Structure 1
Amino acid sequence: MGKSPCSESVFDPLISEACNLIHLNLGRAISLTALASAVHRSPSRFAHRFKDATGVPLRRYILWCRIRVAVEAAVRGSSLTEAAYAAGFSDSAHLSRTFRSTFGIAPSLLFKRDQLRVTFME
């Protein structure tokens, strides 16, 4: 995926602030309405501005961030259930479905550390 949509290259300070809020709250529910309110924009205007600045819709970005946190936790030795909760998924099945739809493989492959290497680019 290359650079994170909310890396330092984002020139929109409002979107950078929103990305920081997302990362600080990944373990909790994140709603468009609450995030838009936190940056003093209407939900529709914020959603449009987020996608324009990052190239991805807000929901997709949040899911990507959650997958990343879950993968990092699993690679460090957490179970899929622990990793799912740490990343803000409702349960390991939700993580598994999201991971499989994103990458086309089951997240359980992460536990075969000698067979899979995971690298995230910032």
Structure 2
Amino acid sequence: MHVFVWNRRFLLHADPYVMDRRDQPYRRLSATVIVAHAGHFSLAVDGGAVTRHEAAIVACNVRRDYIEAPSGGISIFDAGISTEAFLRLAPQVAPAAVRPLTADAAARLRELLARQPPSQATAEQARRLYDAAVDTACELPMPPLQRDPRILQLMATIEQLPLDARPQRQVARAAGLSDSRLRALFRQHLGCSMSQYLRWVTAWKAVALWRRGVSLTEVAHAAGFYDLSHADRVAREITGMSPSALIDPRKVRLLIGDDFSRP
């Protein structure tokens, strides 16, 4: 498996690949482009039936149950909810949970992957591949998602909070809104609760700490997790994998980008 991580987005390539979380499904705060290098991959979300695709976009906060690409390879381009890539991808899939890409888009994505196989890419080559894949997946003539300035301010406020904060109370006070109005506004625009968003932000802060060479135990405590088990559960919300599995050099070639100076 090959994993490239930048700030709040990543590219994962594996051949073969199976992620069976039907017993423990998870929801990721991201829009995700998935491409089978050959043939089809199988996907199940929201407790539904397994469907097969050449390429597809999965919407934010959809319950992710199962994905399998038995042979030929799969590439997963994940754009976190606070990224520019997410703002472009989200309108492409809404209001569906999954939107299959056209055969033309799938073919162009495969051409990109054939020209630059992720298994042979440097971090910079993978970043260019990621950007090109997002461009290709945005095949519908739709403008990027525009966020309410109030939501941008709320997101910025949550960035400064520790994991054990009660985000509703502190953010409502800063925004001058009632708790109920704040909850409704946040869910309307971001499709998640403030506590879920705070966990997601904290997990990415932990990645930035780990990138500096801090041990996993120190990262967990510095980021505000109760213990490694707590950090493990939250990390799975981002990648579906535990941190220890993700950094195991026997299983994963992991490359970290250098753009962690901004959210």
TM interval, shorter chain, is 0.7 to 0.9
**Residues 66, 50 of structure 1: CA spacing in aligned structure 2 closer, same or farther, 3 A cutoff?**
same
User: What amino acid maps onto 2:247 in structure 1?
Assistant: F
* RMSD, aligned α-carbons: 2.9
Determine which of 71, 81, 89 is the counterpart of 1:4.
Answer: 81
- TM-superposed CA distance for 1:40, in Å, is 0.9
Aligned position for 2:254:
116
Query: Does 2:221 align with 1:85?
Result: yes
**Residues 105, 11 of structure 1: CA spacing in aligned structure 2 closer, same or farther, 3 A cutoff?**
closer
Q: TM-score normalized by structure 2?
A: 0.40
**Residues 11, 50 of structure 1: CA spacing in aligned structure 2 closer, same or farther, 3 A cutoff?**
same
- TM-superposed CA distance for 1:57, in Å, is 2.0
**Residues 93, 81 of structure 1: CA spacing in aligned structure 2 closer, same or farther, 3 A cutoff?**
same
- Greater fraction of residues in helix: 1
Conservation of the 8 A alpha-carbon contact between 1:22 and 1:30: no
Question: Deviation string for 1:45-94 (max 9, x for gaps)?
Answer: 10110111122221221111111111222232111122123322222221
User: What amino acid maps onto 2:182 in structure 1?
Assistant: F
User: 80-89 or 35-44, which moves further after superposition?
Assistant: 80-89
Conservation of the 8 A alpha-carbon contact between 1:84 and 1:92: yes
Identity of aligned residues (%): 30
Structure 1 stretches lacking a partner, 5+ long: none
**Residues 103, 111 of structure 1: CA spacing in aligned structure 2 closer, same or farther, 3 A cutoff?**
closer
User: 45-54 or 29-38, which moves further after superposition?
Assistant: 29-38
- Greater fraction of residues in strand: 2
Query: Does 2:158 align with 1:22?
Result: yes
Conservation of the 8 A alpha-carbon contact between 2:158 and 2:167: no
Larger radius of gyration: 2
User: What amino acid maps onto 2:159 in structure 1?
Assistant: H
- TM-superposed CA distance for 1:32, in Å, is 1.1
**Residues 55, 81 of structure 1: CA spacing in aligned structure 2 closer, same or farther, 3 A cutoff?**
same
Query: Does 2:222 align with 1:57?
Result: no
- SS of the residue corresponding to residue 26 of structure 1 reads coil
4+ residue runs of structure 1 moved beyond 6 angstroms? none
* Corresponding pairs, count: 121
**Residues 46, 10 of structure 1: CA spacing in aligned structure 2 closer, same or farther, 3 A cutoff?**
farther
Structure 2 stretches lacking a partner, 5+ long: 1-29, 31-78, 88-144
